[in-house]
Structure 1
Amino acid sequence: MFIKLFSHFQQLYESFNPSYFIIAVVAFSQGVQHLADLSINFMLKDDFGLSPAMMGLYLSYTTIPWIVKPFWGLITDSKPLFGYRRKSYIILFSSIDALGWVALYKYGTNSLHSALLILFLIQLSTCFVNVVGEAILVEVAAKQEQKQTNFQHGASKNVSIFFGVRAFGTLISAFFSGALLHIFTKQEIFLMTAAFPAALMMISFFYTEEKVNLRALSQDDRRNNTMQCIKDFWIFFKNPLIYKPVALIFCFMMAPSSSTIMFFFYTSVLGFEPSFLGQLKFVYAFSTILGVLLYNNYLKDVPFKRIFITTTILYYFCYQSMIILVTRKNVEWKINDRFFCLGDSIMLQLVGELNIMPILVLACRMCPKNIEATMYAMLMSTINFGSTLGSQFGAIFLIALGVNQNDYSRLWLFIMITGVFILLPLPWVGVVKEHQIQKSMDKQKLAKRQQQNDFESLSVSSSNLRQEDDQQQLLSQNQQMND
């Protein structure tokens, strides 16, 4: 028994990839920074007196760096910094991230403009580090597929690691976020949050990465490298098998958001204190982890269309259940507000995670070699851009329906109308041809391998010709000397 156990751990140790550690640290740091989410919301609501619609609009502006993720991916793919494509960028932007939280601690509450500018800088830094972490994630998945190892094999398991660890970081931050607001000020929580990107910066110094010899690369080589990345990206993206699923994902994520108005409803109408809001965030994060585990263990082999259609319909009904809360029907049915919100949050987040996981796995599988960061960042930015537009549309609907912090009488109508947008992309789910995408990727891999084999055979044949020429020259010289 002990021999088998030792052999099992030995296999895990031998197959372990050190890149998983830096991937996990990047994901955890990103998740645990949600410690300041409630503080930011209360700062915008109480200190600056923003309405739900304006808060949604302003927060969406700070997420612009997540929309242009392909640009950051292109930089890290084609422009090594101090000889490294990944390591140096993590160190640089995690340090900027930490300084951003310190600046928010000192100057954030001085004016709305300074607060939004600092939040934009924090989002930019976090986004760049996220792009680098996801690039390493895709590289590891590609290498494992070539080696055909069993340890964490496949894109689904690699995606589960990144988003599971990030959710675990969110879980820890949610556990403390509400309670800390009773003990510390918002500014002090901002300062605490700076410790996590600072820790990531220090840990990144120990990450081992193959160094690029910048002196051996001419300026033309670097320029050609960037242009080649852009060219490869465009050739890959213009394939109908790629851009049609991307368009579907974009439309799905454009459903108007209700997050800001529900935050106001929870605090102003239901009177939830920060500690309970922290418990709700804890439930969100726990449900995310549960969704990742369920997908990775039981649903990863289910076809994309089947799981996407099923979870989308389930998510629609879970979303519509909020009408019971905002119309106060749960009180008539003698269901406690807190109990209802906890149960509803579990279902919404769990089904939502099962809904988004197939999209993330599909994105990871579609990424070609050498432009991992650019392609995966483009796919993720599609999700982020759709979510940003969803926040904008949500604000527009709130203004049009006259729903604000003083009037929630039409909030049920807002939820009913915006819920319809969740179902709109379903008729076009057939554009995702999963098997054809996989076949196309396999053909590209075979073509690249064939090119490498042809190049190697050409190199060997040219080397043999040189040896034959050298031998003939040597024979001729010997014959001349004998004569």
Structure 2
Amino acid sequence: MKIHSYNQRMFSTSTLLPLQLPSRMETHLWYVLPNEVNSESVLSRYVDLLSPLEKDHVFSIRDNQLQKTALIARALVRTTIARYQIRPQVSPKSLQFRKNAYGKPEVDWENDNDWPPIHFNLSHTSSLIACGVTIDSPIGIDVEEKKRTMKNKILSFAKRYFTNEEMEVLRAISDPEVQRQEFIKLWTLKEAYVKALGRGFSGAPFNTFTLRFRPANPNHEDSEIVIVPLENQSLLTTNWQFAQLDLAGSHYAAICRKTNGGNGAVSSSKSVPPKNKYSLSSISCFGVDLTPDNIAVAMVYFVQGVLGLARLAVSFYLKDDLHLDPAETAVITGFSALPWLIKPLYGFISDSVPLFGYRRRSYLVLSGLLGALSWSLMASFVDGKYGATFCILLGSLSVAFSDVVVDSMVVERARGETQSVSGSLQSLCWGSSAFGGIVSSYFSGSLVDAYGVRFVFGLTALLPLLTSAVAVLVKEQRFRGPLRGQGLSTSFIDTSKDSIIELWQAIKQPNVFLPTLFIFLWQATPHSESAMFYFTTNKLGFTPEFLGRVKLVTSIASLLGVGLYNGFLKNVPLRKIFLGTTVTGTALGLTQVILVTGLNRRFGISDEWFAIGDSLIITVLGQASFMPVLVLAARLCPEGMEATLFATLMSISNGGSVLGGLFGAGLTQVLGITKDRFDNLALLIIICNLSSLLPLPLLHLLPDDNSVNKNEANEDDDVELKSN
């Protein structure tokens, strides 16, 4: 690969000397050091080059340094492309850009056939911005500072992204400084390849392909680089060419460009099967490609939803068979959520103790079997509240563990993506869960009426086996075991120590801790679901079959809520979503007082129809308001701690929900509400709903759009290397 590099110190915007287009075998690399551009007049001229949308984006960035970097980056692209003008009317300001389906920027010529097929790619650090240009060849570049240090251990960080083969190469380097440098070099090469593919980080995670050097030596510039796809071979193509070089004496730069098998450090000649246009990966749902991994994720969430088949059966079992009061039922419901409070532990276990060589597949299989066991026990042997509590806990553990496994896959794909892409991923998950709820909801009541709760528990025992079955869809490298001389227990302890230290370092950062505090308080307000269930069944006489119909409506409403968020709210600032949905939800939640007092009947509305309509509206809004919690949690996770930190954040959120349930149980007890007395139920509903407004003065704890993901402030398709 022939490379020409150009340093634009204070690149002019008024007079651009025309430059010959690179040949089809050449790559031009332009770079600028932002610290060298300090003239206000020059920066002002850069602003004049930008489109209105670019100006809005740049000036929405509050951090002055990030704003300056974003401005220079866009000016660099415009002036660089304009240098290759082949017609006089082309100027930096007149250039227009578009993005491909995965967000990679491209030049948008008025008539593509009349212009040269210019490809470009941008990368940046806080101290250097680079732009690579090729003709008729897709390109990806990445730059990183040579002196970049890691607060965490290199190997601990690298294992989250690199393959086993790449990890073995790093482990073989005894000198810590050399190991650090080789890690950074490998990172830049892998990121350049991902960016050249143009599908975003979620489309080609680092651990789905290996970069192999031939001959294996530390000097990558003289090595042939071979791409070895571990999955998705139709997407992870191998006809690419690499180069690595120093920039400004302070940065490593990696370039990846497509080749037809020419000269240079050419990648593997391994043939690539043609992409089938009818393959599942070409089908999308909620804007997400249905790859085997994503199908597995969706199916696990579907199982979470379809397990609602037993929800009504459990409620009636606790009320009618065990004769428990509303407060006791609320306490058992709260305890059933305990497995969701220790989700990080499952992350530590699955990361450090692979079963049969796999960290994901095996645990999905185990989770499914555990869930089947718990519901089988409920269907046959359980006959007391303690046994029921144990089995419900066991079933909850099964779902929570599988949830951690698939959430790690989701968060890896959300890393470095925009709020919109993260929202689409979460919409796929929760849309699948809502669809599962729709499938099971109607029958959940009619089956209880017709066959009893034991039959429903037995039928439910079959559903977790779907989680075990879809484990085969997960593409995962087989783990080869601990290093020689290192026992599994030692590996687990060391890894857990490192993970706990990393977790603490991440959580104590204000940009993570403060939003997490808000989510906890937002979830910790009391609620009155148990008391309302007893009121509707014992006072209003709602049958299991009718409640099944209500459940069907709420499941459809949940899916509508996901659609509402995905279609209209995923680009709305998080603070506005929380404010709007909380205030509106409080107002709508108070309508339950109308049902409790019987006011609806005065207007000719039956209790049944009012309950259905009320549940529909409240559920749509509730699901739409919960989606931002998931998106925020996913986007707060810095690189290297995605799965563990996301599990921790969701555990804290679940802890708030459990605390809210216990507060509700306490209020139910204090107000004297039992399975037969509902005199103060209206007061309980009012207290619970108004309390949801209490966290709103703390909305400032949430990040604004500019601070959630600083990568977006500079360039949408660049994934920064960070440590915590």
Give the TM-score taking structure 1 as reference length: 0.86
The structure-2 alpha-carbon separation of the partners of 1:270 and 1:58, relative to structure 1 and needing over 3 Å to count, comes to: same
Distance, in Å, in 1 between the alignment partners of 2:438 and 2:722 is 42
User: What code does the residue aligned with 2:454 have?
Assistant: Q
Structure 1 match to 2:30: none
The answer as to 2:599 corresponding to 1:325 is: no
State whether structure 2 residue 475 is matched by structure 1 residue 208: yes
Q: C-alpha distance in 2, partners of 1:153/1:263?
A: 37
Q: Does 1:375 align with 2:666?
A: no
Kept in 1, the 8 Å contact 2:296–2:474? The answer is yes
- Measure, in 1, the Cα distance between the counterparts of 2:300 and 2:379: 23
Query: Which of 290, 299, 322 in structure 1 is aligned with 2:569?
Result: 299
- Secondary structure (helix, strand or coil) at the match of 1:446 reads coil
The code of the aligned residue for 1:160 comes to S
Contact 1:79 1:226 in 2 (8 A): no
Rounded to whole Å, the distance in 1 between the matches of 2:667 and 2:550 is 25
Query: Are residues 1:158 and 2:425 paired?
Result: yes
Match of residue 246 from structure 1:
516
Where does residue 115 of structure 1 map in the other structure?
A: 388
Deviations 1:221-278 (A, max 9, x none): 5543322222221111111111111111111111112111111111111111111101
* Residue equivalent to 1:267: 537
**More helix as a share of residues:** 1
Check the 8 A contact 2:638/2:722 in 1, yes or no: no
The AA in structure 2 aligned to 1:295 is: Y
User: Structure 2 matches for 1:61-76, cutoff 5 A?
Assistant: 61-76=335-350
Quote the offset at 1:432 in angstroms. 0.7
The more displaced of 35-44 and 378-387 is 378-387
Deviation at 1:120, TM superposition (A): 1.1
Could you say which residue in structure 2 is the equivalent of 1:124? Answer: 397
**RMSD between aligned residues:** 2.4
Q: Aligned partners of 1:329, 1:13: CA distance in 2, in Å?
A: 49
Q: Which residue number corresponds to residue 140 of structure 1?
A: 413
What is the CA–CA distance in structure 2 between the aligned matches of 1:132 and 1:57, rounded to whole Å? 28
Report the AA paired with residue 710 of structure 2.
Answer: K
Summarize deviations over 1:149-186 as a string: whole Å, max 9, x none. xxx97211111111110111011111211111122121
> 2:351 and 2:303 mapped to 1: Cα distance?
22
Bigger drift between 363-372 and 61-70 goes to 363-372
Indicate how the Cα distance of structure 1 residues 369 and 78 shifts in structure 2: closer, same or farther if over 3 A, else same: farther
Q: Is 1:97 aligned to residue 367 of structure 2?
A: no
Deviation, 1:296, is: 0.7
Task: Name the structure 2 match of 1:460.
Answer: none
Give the partner amino acid of 2:631.
V
**What secondary structure sits across from 2:525 in the alignment?**
coil
Amino acid corresponding to residue 335 of structure 2 in structure 1? Y
The 8 Å contact of residues 96 and 122 in structure 1, kept in 2 or not, is answered as yes
TM-aligned CA deviation for residue 107 of structure 1 = 1.1
Aligned mates of 1:441, 1:301 — CA distance in 2: 14
Instruction: Identify the residue that residue 77 of structure 1 maps to in structure 2.
Output: 351
Long gaps (5+) in structure 1:
1-5, 452-483
Deviation at 1:205, TM superposition (A): 3.6
* Corresponding position of 2:295: 21
Native 8 Å contact 2:352 2:491 kept in 1: no
Q: Deviations over 1:363-405 (max 9, x none)?
A: 1112233432211111111221111111111111111111112
Mapped partners of 1:64, 1:7: distance in 2: 45
Decide whether the 8 Å contact of 1:288 with 1:353 is kept in 2: yes
List, as ranges, runs of 4+ consecutive aligned residues in structure 1 with deviation greater than 4 Å.
Answer: 6-11, 13-16, 440-445
For 1:337, give the aligned amino acid. Answer: D
- Contact 1:167–1:285, Cα closer than 8 Å, also in 2: yes
Contact map agreement 1:366 1:441 (CA 8 A) in 2: no
Q: Does the aligned pair in 2 maintain the 1:251–1:425 contact within 8 Å?
A: yes
Structure 1 SS opposite 2:307: helix
Q: 2:329 matched to which residue of 1?
A: 55
**Alpha-carbon offset, residue 93 of structure 1:** 1.7
- Taking the TM superposition and a 5 Å limit, the aligned residue runs for 1:333-412 are 333-412=603-682
> Is the CA contact (8 Å cut-off) linking 1:159 and 1:364 kept in structure 2?
no
Separation of aligned partners in 1, 2:341 and 2:283: 38
Q: How big is each residue's C-alpha offset from its partner over 1:396-416, in whole Å with a ceiling of 9 and x where there is no partner?
A: 111111111221111111111
Distance 1:338 1:227, change over 3 A: same
Counterpart position of 1:40: 314
Give the conservation status (yes or no) of the 8 Å contact 1:76–1:373.
no
Cα separation, 1, equivalents of 2:662 and 2:632: 27
1:436 matched to 2:707: yes
TM-score (norm 2): 0.58
Contact 1:77 1:374 in 2 (8 A): no
Find the residue that maps to 2:692 and give its secondary structure: helix
- Give me the identity figure in percent: 34
Structure with more strand by fraction = 2
Native 8 Å contact 1:403 1:409 kept in 2:
yes
Query: The residue matched to 1:154 in structure 2 has which SS?
Result: helix
Which structure is larger by alpha-carbon Rg, 1 or 2?
Answer: 2
**What is aligned with 1:282?**
552
Contact 1:78 1:229 in 2 (8 A): no
Verify: 1:230 aligned to 2:500, yes or no. yes
Partners of 2:346 and 2:316 in 1: how far apart? 31
Q: State the SS of the aligned residue for 2:463.
A: helix
> 2:466 corresponds to which residue?
199
Equivalent residue, structure 2, for 1:415:
685
Whether the 8 Å CA contact 1:292–1:353 is kept in 2: the answer is yes
Aligned-pair CA distance for 1:440: 7.5
| Greater RCO structure (CA 8 Å; 6+ sep) | 1
- SS of the residue corresponding to residue 406 of structure 1 reads coil
Q: CA deviation at 1:447?
A: 3.9
Which stretch has the larger CA shift, 77-86 or 180-189?
77-86
- Residue by residue over 1:405-437, the C-alpha shift from the partner in whole angstroms, topping out at 9 and shown as x without a partner, is 221111111111121210000001011113213
Deviation at 1:309, TM superposition (A): 0.2
| Secondary structure of 2:433 counterpart | helix
Alpha-carbon spacing, 1:16–1:161, altered in 2? closer, same or farther (3 Å): closer
Letter paired with 1:225: T
More deviation in 349-358 or 307-316? 349-358
- The answer as to whether partners of 1:74 and 1:371 remain within 8 angstroms in 2 is no
One-letter code aligned to 1:117: F
How far apart in 2 are the matches of 1:129 and 1:7? 31
Q: Which amino acid aligns with 1:81?
A: L
Are the counterparts in 1 of residues 538 and 676 from structure 2 also a CA contact under 8 Å?
A: no
Change (3 A) 1:400 1:440: farther
Secondary structure of 1:82's counterpart equals coil
Q: How far apart, in 2, do the equivalents of 1:105 and 1:139 lie? A: 38
- Is the contact made by 1:254 and 1:389 (CA closer than 8 Å) also made in structure 2? yes
CA–CA separation in structure 1 for the residues paired with 2:713 and 2:483: 33
SS at match of 2:464: helix
